[in-house]
Structure 1
Amino acid sequence: MGSSSGRRVGRPRAAQRPDSGLEPRAELLAAAAELFTTRGYAATTTRVVAERAGMRQASMYHYVSGKEELLAQLLESTVTPSLVCARELLADDTRPAEGRLWELCRTDVELLCAGPHNLGGLYLLPEVRTERFAGFHAVRAELKDGYRQLIAATAAGGALAKSGLDLRTDLVFGLIEGVILVHRSDPERPVSEFARATADAALRIAGA
């Protein structure tokens, strides 16, 4: 009998998770996001991730190499949309840099705090400092450089020496990522409120 859900067949799956309609890899990422942010990365085994996704541990390795790959993909998923936004804003020189910087800050905060799980909190894991997560760090560094370019393009930023521009960029970027902790301690506050307030504060730090 054919499957109407579009799932691959032939590998046994445990009945731990309702049928979400996701492809197996996406289902594993969803399960990992939930478990890493609620139980903790170190405390979560690949077996538990597989069971939460509704499959056996052996089947999981048909889709991902292990727990580190899942974490790397989740981390990159928190940065890539913001980087796309930064590239678009950098290319739009018809608008003042101050407005584009504010928009990037607001959008970045909303993306960091989006979704049912606080994936930004995974940035704080000690494991993330290792070479295995070089891809995440490269994307994050490009996003940070986007902030730097927008700050430099503002009237105040254009008057800064390189050391001053680097400091302002570090402070603004640190403020944006620091919202992760604030949001974790106050999850009921509307994300849009966090986003607007953070963008306002970022422009003051940038001197714009």
Structure 2
Amino acid sequence: MAQAAERPRRPGRPRANPATEASGLTTHDQILDAAAALFVEEGFASCTTRQIAERAGIRQASVYYYFSSKDAILLVLLSSSIRPSLGFATVLREDAEAGRDPAGRLCALVIADVRTLAGARHNIASLYDLPEVQEKAEYAGFRADRDELIRVYGDFAEAVVPQVDPTLCGTLVMQLVESVIGLRTAGRFRPSYEADIARACLRMLGLGEDRIEQAFRTAQLLLAR
């Protein structure tokens, strides 16, 4: 996906508040962190770049130095919730050992995806359904990435059980994975749920408990690499 939304970084732009250096984040990442917090807490539509700058401890002009718009910031944040899983899916597709246990491969991807969504500092995935994200051209690349991840889940599910409808199964697996978003919003997510969600995906495909446990052993090996 083209990354036209993000402007190239240039040296020489001072911070409004040098104390933000203590966070260990670059100015670019400080903006992303502040924006993510505000988008989730206050809502994307009502949030302004001035608020983002104040939260990050920088000048408002510095926000535009790194990003062309508020939409550009949100696009980077949303992509960060999808791209790691797509990258891992590519690795799994090319891994011969993973291909020998398709259930383990699917299990590994589900767990990795859950960890990405659950491990984000802010629950940015809760903004997936914003009208702006679903309709504006700026987010077409993100929507394509998310559709691709659904297709990957469908392909991986079909490799486990060839008789399934990959489109339906991919969508159902994605819905199970993204249950993390609502659980985080409600303050009810627990780390143990990553295993529960992965098992639910495999049970949905009709796998028995012995095969599920074998898939988990394979998944742990794949995730440890």
Please indicate the TM-score interval, normalised by the length of the shorter structure.
Answer: 0.7 to 0.9
Q: The residue matched to 1:148 in structure 2 has which SS?
A: helix
Partner of 2:85: 82
CA RMSD of aligned residues (A): 2.0
Point out where structure 1 has 5 or more consecutive residues left out of the alignment: 1-6
Q: Percent same amino acid among aligned pairs?
A: 38
Matched, 1:139 2:148: no
Moved more, 98-107 or 123-132: 123-132
The more displaced of 63-72 and 133-142 is 133-142
Determine if the alignment matches structure 1 residue 65 to structure 2 residue 71.
no
Does the CA contact (< 8 Å) of 2:153 and 2:169 recur in 1? Answer: no
Q: Which residue of 2 aligns with 1:104?
A: 109
2:34 alignment partner, one of 31, 41, 59: 31
Name the structure 2 match of 1:53.
56
1:123 maps to 2:122: no
What SS does the aligned partner of 1:124 have? coil
1:113 maps to: 118
Map 1:157-172 → 2, pairs under 5 A: 158-160=162-164, 164-172=165-173
For 1:74-106, what per-residue CA distance to the aligned partner results, in whole angstroms no more than 9, with x for missing partners? Answer: 000001111111111122232310111111111
Distance 1:10 1:121, change over 3 A: closer
Whole-Å Cα distance in 2 between the matches of residues 17 and 39 of structure 1? 22
Query: Please, which runs of 5 or more residues in structure 2 have no aligned partner?
Result: 1-9, 208-225
**Contact preservation (8 Å) 2:154, 2:168:** no
- Give the whole-Å Cα distance in 2 for the aligned partners of 1:32 and 1:204: 38
**Is contact 1:31-1:52 (8 Å) kept?**
yes
CA distance 1:10–1:169, shift in 2 (3 Å)? closer
How many aligned positions are there?
195
- Flag as ranges the 4+ runs of structure 1 deviating above 3 A: 7-12, 14-19
Q: Show the counterpart of 1:195.
A: 194
TM-score by length of 2: 0.79
Is the Cα–Cα contact under 8 Å of residues 17 and 53 in structure 1 kept in the other structure?
Answer: yes
Matched, 1:41 2:49: no
Relative to structure 1, the CA distance from residue 122 to residue 205 in structure 2 (aligned partners, 3 Å threshold; closer, same or farther) is: same
Q: How far apart in 2 are the matches of 1:147 and 1:12?
A: 43
| SS of residue in 2 equivalent to 1:78 | coil
Q: CA deviation at 1:36?
A: 0.9
